[in-house]
Amino acid sequence: MTRSPRTLTSKKDSKKLDLVHSDVSGPFPVPSYGNSLYYITVIDDATRVAWVRFMKQKSETTNIVKDFVAEMELQNHKTPAAFRTDNGGEYVTKDLKGFFTSKRIIHEFSPQYSPGSNGVAERLNRAIGESLRAMLESASTYDKKLWAEAVLTSVCIKNPQPHSALKDLTPYEAFYGTKPSIQHLQHFSREYYIHVPYQKRTDGKKLSPRAQRAIFTGYTNVPHHYRVFLPDTKKTIVSAETFFHPLKIEGAMPMINRRMDQILTPLQCNTPLTSVEYTYNNKGKTSDDMWRQWMDENRQEANNVVDNGHEIIA
């Protein structure tokens, strides 16, 4: 005898934070560089916008749920009306039950051994898993301990993408009421260079490098601040002083390479976007000769970029 698949349906006329779905995934085979082994997702049913947090132990679930509710109350002036989860032990605790009761939050459980009943959260976890594997496999430096960075990036780029449950809106726009910017998006694990401040250069500063090789691993709440992984020290930092080499993609359309501060922030005036232009052959590849020519013709500006970083963020 087999059972027919049954799922708890979403509320068609619900408003944001009327119902949120949550699920915990893990443990992962290796801890992240922050020593996390699990992650917990929270998805708004009405808008499908998602959040992710990382945990070292499942017992941290209650505190993360409390922090999420407090964040929604502070930033959106609304308490989630209902939480839908599975029957995992991390959600069935006396502390969490008392918290939901004090906040008048309805806790909806899916039946045991029926993961499909918490389908919204389960589908997100499946999508994250597929993105995670693809991003790690494509990384120039394959490192399983970067799984948390890949998970965070996967959720960040999911919110500004169209969703089948929404009509003519992205989850980000449906929840926050503004169109998301995608100009700052970058390829996960893309290699680039970050500016080394004068104070952090080694002895013999005249000869020490002005830039350090890094790997792009994710985003922050500030568009032009990136999470970057330093392979030499195995550390992840947040940096705004970055320089990406132009991508060389087969068949790419011609485009202008802009400085990072001009790409990532909305234009406030009618100043020229760039003084650096690249020529392309019929396959869309940039010409390195043009880059060298620009550096020869604009030595002072090139030196300033290397020595001081970009004007806005240096």
CA-atom Rg of the chain in angstroms: 23
Between 135-139, 200-204, 300-304, 306-310, the lowest mean confidence (pLDDT) is in: 306-310
- Secondary element (H or E) of residue 303: helix 299-308
Phi and psi at 163, nearest 5°, equal -130, 140
pLDDT at 258 over 90: no
Sorted by where each starts, the structural domains of the chain and their CATH numbers stand as 20-176 (3.30.420.10), 191-308 (no CATH)
Q: What is the pLDDT of residues 3-52, one digit of tens each?
A: 554 444 555 567 999 999 999 998 999 999 889 999 999 999 999 999 99
Token couple for 90: 């991390």
Between 27-41, 49-63, 90-104, 132-146, the lowest mean confidence (pLDDT) is in: 132-146
The answer to whether 244 and 186 are in contact (CB under 8 A) is yes
Sheet holding 211-219, edge to edge: 235-239, 226-230, 211-219, 191-195, 242-243
Q: What is the pLDDT of residue 173?
A: 93
Rounded average pLDDT over 197-203: 71
Rounded average pLDDT over 193-198: 76
Rounded average pLDDT over 222-244: 78
pLDDT at 65 over 90: yes
What span, in angstroms and rounded, lies between the C-alpha atoms of 17 and 46? 7
Q: What is the pLDDT of residues 142-162, one digit of tens each?
A: 788 999 999 999 999 899 988
Share of the chain above pLDDT 70, in %: 69
Q: Residue ranges of the alpha helices (H) in 77-110?
A: 94-103
Q: Select from 123, 146, 137 the least CA-distant residue to 45.
A: 123
